[in-house]
Amino acid sequence: MKKVFQIFLLISIVIQANAQQNDALFSIKGEPVLLDEFKSLFLNNTEEGQSYTAQEYLDLFINYKLKIREATTLRYDTLPTFKNEYEGYRKQLISSFTKNPEMEERLVKEAYDHSLEEIRAKNILIALPRDASPQDTLKAYNRLMEAYAKLQKGADFDQIAMAYSEPKIAENQIDLGFFTVFQMVYPFETTAYKTEVGGVSKPFRTRYGFHLLQVTDRRPANGKVTVKHLQLVPAENDSIDQVKSELIQKIYSELQEGAVFDTLVKKYSEDKSTASTGGVLRPFGVGTLQTKVFEEEAFALKEEAFSKPFQTQFGWHIVQLIHREPIASFEEQKPVLELSVRRDERSELIENARLDWLKSTYKTKVYEKNKTAVQLATNQLLNENGQPEAALQEKIVFQIEDKNYYAKDFFAYLKTTNNIVFSKLFSNYFKNQLEQYHEVHLEQYNAEFRGIVQKYHDGLLVYNIMENEVWKKSQKDTIGLQHFYEKNQSKYLPQSVNGYLVAENNKTSTLKKVLKYYQNSKISGLSDLEESKKLFKKVNFATVSEDELKNRVERAGQISSKFSEGEIIPVEGSKYALIKWVELPAKNLKFNSSDSKLFNDYQEFVEKKWLKELFVKYEIEINPKAIQTIEAIIK
């Protein structure tokens, strides 16, 4: 039986080896480079619009892998600059693979839905610190449950609020008025939006303590308004108050008679910050000002209308509505909503969802017995300076996958934090270690992340070795560049250019004779240039390229434009008659190391030479079916 199993195992190994060999496009030093790597790391990474033959694809891939192999051999991946850049990119990428996008998207959409409606609610609060003892917490909860039970039997909310609120409140503090998204702490907001009009919520907790709320009204959101306001600040005594009361009525009468609002603001308003600008306030929404009365008056107006005089704790006011801004669409609001969600208590929900995701991704186990022993030792350490027993320090507290985390590691963590509550200490430590494990091992558990960082890693290696072995070497090797130029000089002769046969003279009359002569003769231009010089001895004849002609015209202070045959134009210190449009022969140029085409060709030459050496060095062996395999893919 044992022999049969050994034969079966040997056959399996041979089949697997043959399968790997069949999937290999080529090998480097005997190590196969598989088709899957070509597809995932190379074929899908070529630029759009580029089209290669199967042979070109194979050559590019071999060259790519050779550069990576040489860079690894030369230990480019161990250089501090490489490691810093690679680790920086990897760390930045990790964050996008650790988020819980579903939770954030749900909270952003919920925030937008809340922004479409305004809620009016009453509140009962029993204040309680976040770190209250279990006894105090239970006491506060039970007291609020008692109030809730009375409300369920039909008791008046205001009377219960006056009796049970801690600290005690005035009757006018029960009604919170209208509010919308992000204006209350999240647990309060979300409970309010889930409660029907007239309904009372069950007790719930926020960072301020335990609450009961009653929703008294809900309405479509008003959006924001921009208003102008005229203000008379509160009076110091009754007699002055009477004067201001009469003045505000006088101002209102002037407005009714057609006075300009801005003019009256500048004349009467005591709000110095806005009087000079016509009383314009920043746009505001419901629940954003310190006075409900002001908001109600502003939102009740139609555009360009002004209110009757009204009084708040800030004095007398008249407001005029300039503009009403409705709630924007979800897409328009989304960036602002995302930022707001990340800044308020909703961020804790996102963080908790992220932690739950990490727990579901990696297998974890907490050794409860050892954890209890660590808790007792921790309490002793926090109350008395001492050292845990050596045996306890070697106990495993929890595991993440196959990695053990010992009590001694937790005790070391204690020295880095000021928290004194064990449950928080342990929770934070566990979370930190889980996040660190995730950062280190993400490639093992996420194929997409592994593929992205591998591409970046290999691309960075290729860039660095190309910079040193090709680009910098080409730049420094001016002698090699000149030899390359001399061997390939015919490739770098300038192309023939277009220009003009010109006659140069200061006198326009002379140039007109030259033009007339050429128009009436069969002289072709360049071939009969010597004959022209004999006929017009005081005229200089030459050929000038179009670019050179433009430069000379501009140096004469003229604007260069399109030229045409038969035209006389001023140039620097003289005049030109444009006799004929001609094609000028190419001129031999001297070696120029800054010629971009020459330099690019030399870099390509250096790279090809280097790759030939690498091809031999790493003993490339190509699978005879490689071209056929690639052709089948790219079709």
- pLDDT tens readout for residues 252-269: 999 999 999 999 999 999
d(CA 518, CA 529): 11
pLDDT at 44: 63
Q: Over the chain, what is the mean pLDDT?
A: 86
| 67-85 mean pLDDT | 95
Is 481 within 8 Å of 606 (Cβ atoms)? no
- Sequence-distant (6+) residues with CB within 8 A of 357 are 98, 100
In CATH, what class is 117-220? alpha beta
Q: What confidence category does residue 316 fall into, taking pLDDT thresholds of 50, 70 and 90?
A: very high
- pLDDT tens readout for residues 116-144: 999 999 999 999 998 888 899 999 999 99
**Kind and range of the H or E element at 171?**
none
* Cα 569 to Cα 498, 508, 561, 563, distances in angstroms: 18, 9, 11, 9
pLDDT at 19: 39
* Cα 480 to Cα 135, 364, 475, 476, 493, distances in angstroms: 86, 62, 10, 9, 19
d(CA 106, CA 423): 29
d(CA 499, CA 563): 10
Cα distance from N-terminal residue to C-terminal residue, the chain: 49
Query: What are the DSSP E strand ranges found in 313-402?
Result: 315-325, 364-366, 396-400
pLDDT at 20: 42
- pLDDT tens readout for residues 518-555: 877 655 444 556 667 777 888 888 888 888 888 888 88
* Cα 267 to Cα 230, 270, 318, 319, distances in angstroms: 10, 9, 14, 15
| 220-236 mean pLDDT | 91
- The one-character DSSP state at 527 is G
- CA angle at 97 for the pair 91 and 102, rounded to the nearest 5°: 145
d(CA 296, CA 260): 23
Q: What confidence category does residue 73 fall into, taking pLDDT thresholds of 50, 70 and 90?
A: very high
Counting beta carbons within 10 angstroms of the beta carbon of residue 369, is it exposed (0 to 12), middle (13 to 18) or buried (19 or more)? exposed
pLDDT at 106: 93
Which of these, 569, 576, 566, 570, lies nearest to 541 by C-alpha position? 576
Given the candidates 3.10.50.40, 3.20.20.70, 3.40.50.740, 3.40.30.10, the CATH classification of the domain at 226-326 is: 3.10.50.40
Judge whether residue 25 has pLDDT over 70: yes
Which of these, 377, 403, 401, lies nearest to 388 by C-alpha position? 377
Q: What's the chain's length in residues?
A: 635
If phi > 0 it is left, if psi is from -120 to 50 it is alpha, else beta; for residue 223 that is left
**Kind and range of the H or E element at 551?**
helix 546-555
Question: What percentage of the chain carries pLDDT values higher than 70?
Answer: 91
| 106-122 mean pLDDT | 95
* Cα 253 to Cα 169, 279, 308, distances in angstroms: 40, 18, 10
Judge whether residue 6 has pLDDT over 60: no
Q: Is 118 helix (H, G, I), strand (E, B) or coil?
A: strand
Judge whether residue 433 has pLDDT over 90: yes
Which of these, 97, 203, 52, lies nearest to 453 by C-alpha position? 97
- Whether a cis peptide bond, with omega within 30° of 0, leads into 167 is yes
Residue found under tokens 């200061």: 506
Which of these, 279, 284, 312, lies nearest to 298 by C-alpha position? 284
- The one-character DSSP state at 582 is E
| 417-432 mean pLDDT | 85
Q: What confidence category does residue 46 fall into, taking pLDDT thresholds of 50, 70 and 90?
A: low
Q: Which pTM value belongs to this model? A: 0.57
- Write b or e for each residue in 28-62: b if 16 or more Cβ atoms lie within 10 A of its Cβ, otherwise e: beeebbebebbebbbbeeeeeeeeeebeebbeebb
- Sequence-distant (6+) residues with CB within 8 A of 274 are 229, 265, 280, 281
Give the rounded distance of the alpha carbon of 374 from its chain centre: 43
Is 52 within 8 Å of 60 (Cβ atoms)? yes
pLDDT at 47: 58
Strand ranges of the sheet holding 224-232, from the earlier edge strand across to the other edge: 284-285, 224-232, 315-325, 310-312
Judge whether residue 384 has pLDDT over 90: no
| Segment 305-314 long-range contacts (CB within 8 Å, at least 24 positions apart) | 306/255, 306/261, 308/252, 309/248, 309/249, 309/251, 309/252, 313/234, 314/231, 314/233, 314/234, 314/290
Neighbours of 67 (CB within 10 A): 24
pLDDT at 586: 65
Is 266 within 8 Å of 276 (Cβ atoms)? yes
Neighbours of 477 (CB within 10 A): 14
